[in-house]
Structure 1
Amino acid sequence: MEAADKIKKLRKATPTLELPSVTQLPESTNCLACSEDGRYLCLGHCRGLSVWSASSLTCVSEWLQDRLEITSVQMTRIAEMTYLLGTVDDMGVARVFAHHSDVIHLFGVINIMEDVNKRSICLTFELHEGGHYGAASVSCNGAAWLEVYHFPSAAWLEELERASSQKQDPNSSGEVDVKWSPVAVMIKIKPPKILAGRPLDGPPEVSQTTDYLAHCVALDVIMNSSRQWQKTSFNVEPMPDVLWPHAKEILCSAVSRCTRYIALGLDDALVCVWDRLSGAPLAVVLVPAENSAFIRMQFTDYWSVCADDSEIFTAEKVHLLLLCKSGEIHTVTTGRGTQSCTTQLTERPEDSRDFPSVITSVPFLQGLSLVVKRNGKMFLQDVINKTTVCFLTPPTTHLVSTPCSPVYALNAKLQTLFIRGDQDTSCSASSEDSSQSQLFIFRFRESGITKQFVISHPDSPQQQKTLSYDTLEETCNVYLQQRALSVAERTRDIMKTWERLQETAVTLQQRQ
């Protein structure tokens, strides 16, 4: 009873900020995306695509098609006023568009259905920042693989200018007929074939597993395969250069924004962080999350720095958020030359409606995460001090739409949250317009509560340098230069890694 009273008092003390409604959304808006520069919003709905001005919130262009429902959308800028759009519809078809001169152009369909009996389904479709590359996970007849695409961005920009000139020509019929350059499949990555039998020597639970690939991470597939693709004109299906094996099954993973660190959530509450530069684990951490498997993890940027954290190893620290199947949330701080620290951020919910459906680091707020629960509650949580900063709520007439999978977008440039809200059925709508979905906006910089957490320059110089490479070749060259200059460091890391692995093995044996 005392604990319940404390929780009630804490909730009363936590401020609640109401999200203002700004405009109506198209019917069945399933997804939102905001361009990196904060100029445009892209909306996917039951009739296609719409691009809005993020400042005036007015529609500037549409691509409509009956009975085509867009369920996923991404947006990235490829030129000053040209943006690449990647979508997936409810039938699993991926498409690539361009928004140029307030017109949406369809460049092509990624997974064309040529044979009904071999219908490929696009599960996820991601665009590389800058629009040079894309990747899709594809499934067909029980098989799954990853495809990486090269987008002819330079050719597309020339073709878009040609299309704009044709449209502005007074002698033209108004129809724009441009043959867009095709998307090229760089590589098609399929799971390696593993012979049946005992793949590993070790404990029975590891040796008897048949899904060996669930214990491995492939390394450097993209880099080497791209070199083969400059040499050949046909698709290649490469084998990975290096496999990072693990004794436990990989349940989830995350990549840091600088792409140097890869975090893996393993079975039995183990977290392994790999340093891609050194090719060795940065840390192996045992999280005290008993009887609860990891289902999601992510790196938390812009962690506050303590006064005594002035050592050279501070830059090597990484911070992770872990969501368990039970609903518990844990944080992990680890790094080279530091003692790993784990903290339980939230307890296991008693009611399934209190399970978090979204927990994401807000890239422009120091140490804060946005949490949305299945019951529709939305709040900002301080993952360092384990406190709720404030609740975010739409007006009493509306609720957060589909709280198990909310439709929202966070933009670091505008430092703004865009989220869809639906009419509360328990409230009688005064008009047909009010019953439609609404777009709610929260500008973090304008609130006195969140303003103190806002970071003026969210990207560190190292991250800006890492993210500024435009081509895969530039990224690979820098990567190779870094490896050549870090031989001594990597040798030292390998020695430390073996020591940590031995200590972890002893700990696991003691637990058994």
Structure 2
Amino acid sequence: MMSPFKGSQAQKQRMSRMSVFIKGPLEIPSPTETDWPKDDEKDFVFLDIDRELDSLPQPYRMINKVLNQLFDQSWEVIEEREALREIEKNRVLPTIYPPVTEIQINQMPGGMAVSQDYLFIGGAKGFSIYNLENFKRIYVWEKFKVDVVSIWATDLGNEVLIVPVDEMGIVRFFYLYKDSLFLIKAINEMDDVTKQSTCLKMEFSQGGDYAAFLLQGAGEIWLEVYKLPKETWLKEAEFPQLGPSQKKKTKQVPTTPDVAPLEGMETGLRPSLSPYTVQELNISFKSDIKFTQPVLIMKIKPPKAIAGTTFKSPLEIFSKIEDYYGLGSGQNHFIKDAQWEQHVEIFYASYKKYLEREGDEEPLSMPTFHFICTNTLATMPMDARSSSGGAWILGIHWTGNHNFFLYPLNKTLKEKTDCENVWPCAAPIVVSQISSFSSFLALACEDGVLILWDMAQGFLFGVIALPEGCFCQSIHFLKFFLVHEGRNMYPESSVKSEVMCVVLCTDASLHLVTASGTKGPTSKVLLERSMSHAEEDVCKVAPVPALPGMVLIFSKNHSVRLMDVATAKIICAFAAPVSYPPEMPWAPLFIVSPHHPYFLLYGAHPDDTDATTSTDDYSDSPHSVFYFKFEEYPLLKDLPQNCTISQKDLECNQAFSQMLSLEKRCEQFLQKSFQKLLNTQVKGHDHWTRLRRHSIFLQKENLKK
């Protein structure tokens, strides 16, 4: 008798597995439902297929589970790659534009700065000056002992103040007046090298009224603030006082294009290292002309740790403290020595295993400082005010500190350096930024909270928390713009109490934070971190003032893109013929013009770009500064022109007119609030005076007893 099941062994196994779910012999049911057998459901037994596999003996059962897990993981990888491949097919790459002009230089620049129509590049033992109209080098100063590592330049009206810093950390002031260059002063140069201090950072106030330098030396760090006599410098440059050493005639530098000046002459040109011939000379150096020196008005050191007080009672504190400012802000705490020692003992006992680390030295506290010009934060005498009528204040926060300090700049070095106000925060401040013309201030804490202040009006916009896991890396203010007829445009008249800023987080995500006087801050994600393209993570961001609502995004893969923050879309990209090893981290050196539609980007293009090229080989490669002008590109040709919207168009637009009328109502409300604030300050001072008098009276009564 032949078996009813014919076929391969695999077919027999499949049929045997099917028998698990079938009761009784295999039969073909009749086409009529009424003839089907009436079996009870309880007679059917459903068994899981995997139960047969679980009944396999070891090690076959474990081998089966490992193979199944491997298959599932492989399938997930295949599905993920397929999804990424599909995304790549639908991905639209932006249009890439090359640079308009290339300025060749002989080595990697030690910083770049732009002022008026001049480009200043730090280099070997000095700096160079280029004319941005024809992109020609017009002057070279190379009389330092070491190379320049950074350089700053600021406008002083029609003049330019140039401040290079060399490898030894020495700061020097150069004054560019018309076609003359003057050396004013070396700030921290010392004859004794052991007493030499090093400049780590510097800032200038808007218009060049003040300058601040962060200096380090002998294991300490401090901040020096100078007042710059720019009006006096202008008079001294126009009518120089010639000294006895200047009566000697100086050699004249030939101006013939084909004749190169000799080394060591007045211009300081070095033709041997110049990659091209200098065709015209506009600037000449004038030495031994005496200028009025910058005035040191303030020296600020890191805040001291809270220590115990020698006061014996609160009555003694109230009677001897003349000023009530700062109480409750974390600065003027009065704690007895015994209480403070007990608190320190408890703290060290609780965190002993974290605090005792051999070889770890406590790092120096580094400050971030800004010059703030405002009419509302403090009352200053007329000699401390700027040309715009506002008072200059220096705002500082130190690493690991919760407080933002405000120092008035109407002090002299002989007076005691005290902060005018202290703004405490709930967490240590990690990033701070001030907008142009000191209109707005942003403070970012280490817990991801962002605090926005309106410095012009003197009130708090609000507090906003960044998304979970996002911590602020940098803040960049944007000039307020409106979207009109599909284009980003600046209002022709000034708009108050409207702030926009772009926040770059440590996870490479980009956020747009907006706030107004009537609304709390809101956050919008512009760019998330790319999970599939880690090389496109953002490392730097720079606003473009000439293009409303536009920012430049610098990525780790050495790409530069232009984003419209209103739509969160990439408009185009910019590429320079630059090659770097993939493993080399990119710290882009660039300058965005604050007034004109262009930006400059430094790059090196080595001759050998294969994978075996080492990082050291790039020091001898050709170097260039690439010039990108937005008006030269088709997609951006019309953007820089007519980028303002008139008051008439604002009033015709219903949405904008509502905003303007609301602004007027807010302005009236703020004026009333300021008046109430002044009255409150007067009352507070009166209460403090009465409290002091009462404390002195009670203290005298206690002495009589």
Rounded to whole Å, the distance in 1 between the matches of 2:229 and 2:668 is 32
**Structure 2 counterpart of 1:320, which letter?**
C
Match of 2:422 in 1: 243
Counterpart among 404, 417, 430 of residue 217 in structure 1: 404
Shift of residue 3, structure 1, vs aligned partner: 6.0
Shift of residue 457, structure 1, vs aligned partner: 6.5
Match of 1:466 in 2: none
Match of 1:149 in 2: 226
Rounded to whole Å, the distance in 1 between the matches of 2:675 and 2:450 is 23
Rounded to whole Å, the distance in 2 between the matches of 1:448 and 1:150 is 46
Structure 1 contact 94–125 (Cα < 8 Å) conserved: no
Question: Is structure 2 residue 508 aligned with structure 1 residue 364?
Answer: no
Q: Secondary structure in 2 aligned to 1:158?
A: helix
Structure 1 contact 376–399 (Cα < 8 Å) conserved: no
Shift of residue 453, structure 1, vs aligned partner: 3.5
Match of 2:498 in 1: 317
Structure with bigger RCO (C-alpha 8 Å, 6+ apart)? 1
Rounded to whole Å, the distance in 2 between the matches of 1:285 and 1:172 is 66
Rounded to whole Å, the distance in 2 between the matches of 1:273 and 1:113 is 42
Match of 1:348 in 2: 529
Counterpart among 474, 492, 495 of residue 296 in structure 1: 474
Structure 1 contact 399–421 (Cα < 8 Å) conserved: no
Question: Is structure 2 residue 618 aligned with structure 1 residue 440?
Answer: no
Match of 1:376 in 2: 558
Match of 2:165 in 1: 88
**Structure 2 counterpart of 1:63, which letter?**
W
Match of 1:69 in 2: 147
Structure 2 contact 400–429 (Cα < 8 Å) conserved: no
Rounded to whole Å, the distance in 2 between the matches of 1:277 and 1:414 is 26
Match of 1:274 in 2: 453
**Structure 2 counterpart of 1:33, which letter?**
A
Rounded to whole Å, the distance in 1 between the matches of 2:494 and 2:644 is 21
Rounded to whole Å, the distance in 2 between the matches of 1:460 and 1:119 is 55
Shift of residue 79, structure 1, vs aligned partner: 4.6
Q: Secondary structure in 2 aligned to 1:156?
A: helix
**Structure 2 counterpart of 1:105, which letter?**
F
Rounded to whole Å, the distance in 1 between the matches of 2:641 and 2:581 is 29
CA 1:266–1:53 in 2, change beyond 3 Å: closer, same or farther?
Answer: same
- What's the C-alpha RMSD, in Å, of the aligned pairs? 4.1
The one-character-per-residue Cα deviations of 1:259-284 (angstroms, maximum 9, x if unpaired) are 12210111221110122345442111
The one-character-per-residue Cα deviations of 1:61-110 (angstroms, maximum 9, x if unpaired) are 22103552222222223253x32101222222211111234443221111
**Structure 1 counterpart of 2:112, which letter?**
L
**Structure 2 counterpart of 1:215, which letter?**
H
Further displaced range: 257-266 or 294-303: 294-303
Rounded to whole Å, the distance in 2 between the matches of 1:76 and 1:212 is 27
Question: Is structure 2 residue 448 aligned with structure 1 residue 261?
Answer: no
Structure 2 contact 578–604 (Cα < 8 Å) conserved: no
Aligned length: 450
Question: Is structure 2 residue 363 aligned with structure 1 residue 285?
Answer: no
Instruction: Give TM-score, length-normalised by structure 1.
Output: 0.76
Counterpart among 376, 381, 391 of residue 573 in structure 2: 391
Q: Secondary structure in 1 aligned to 2:236?
A: helix
CA 1:448–1:177 in 2, change beyond 3 Å: closer, same or farther?
Answer: same
Structure 2 contact 480–500 (Cα < 8 Å) conserved: no
Pairing of 1:186-225 with structure 2 (within 5 A) = 186-196=297-307, 214-219=401-406, 221-222=407-408, 225=409
Match of 1:104 in 2: 181
5+ residue gaps, structure 2, are 1-80, 252-265, 267-286, 309-327, 334-342, 349-364, 366-397, 486-490, 648-666, 679-705
Counting aligned pairs with the same residue, the percent is 24
**Structure 2 counterpart of 1:214, which letter?**
N
The one-character-per-residue Cα deviations of 1:29-50 (angstroms, maximum 9, x if unpaired) are 1222111x3x211111123111
The one-character-per-residue Cα deviations of 1:348-401 (angstroms, maximum 9, x if unpaired) are 34576433222011111121111112221111112221211111001377899x
Structure 2 contact 110–151 (Cα < 8 Å) conserved: no
Extract structure 1 runs of 4+ deviating beyond 6 A: 164-167, 207-213, 396-400, 457-461, 491-494
Structure 2 contact 241–290 (Cα < 8 Å) conserved: no
CA 1:459–1:385 in 2, change beyond 3 Å: closer, same or farther?
Answer: closer
Pairing of 1:9-20 with structure 2 (within 5 A) = 12-20=92-100
Structure 1 contact 363–412 (Cα < 8 Å) conserved: yes
Structure 1 contact 77–84 (Cα < 8 Å) conserved: yes
Q: Secondary structure in 1 aligned to 2:215?
A: strand
Match of 1:501 in 2: none
Counterpart among 65, 86, 102 of residue 22 in structure 1: 102
Structure with greater strand percent = 1
CA 1:112–1:352 in 2, change beyond 3 Å: closer, same or farther?
Answer: farther
Shift of residue 339, structure 1, vs aligned partner: 4.4
Match of 2:637 in 1: 451
Match of 1:478 in 2: none
Match of 1:122 in 2: 199
Shift of residue 142, structure 1, vs aligned partner: 3.9
CA 1:484–1:242 in 2, change beyond 3 Å: closer, same or farther?
Answer: farther
Counterpart among 135, 156, 161 of residue 78 in structure 1: 156
Question: Is structure 2 residue 119 aligned with structure 1 residue 41?
Answer: yes
Rounded to whole Å, the distance in 2 between the matches of 1:156 and 1:31 is 26
Rounded to whole Å, the distance in 2 between the matches of 1:102 and 1:313 is 36
Match of 1:32 in 2: 112
Rounded to whole Å, the distance in 2 between the matches of 1:314 and 1:414 is 22
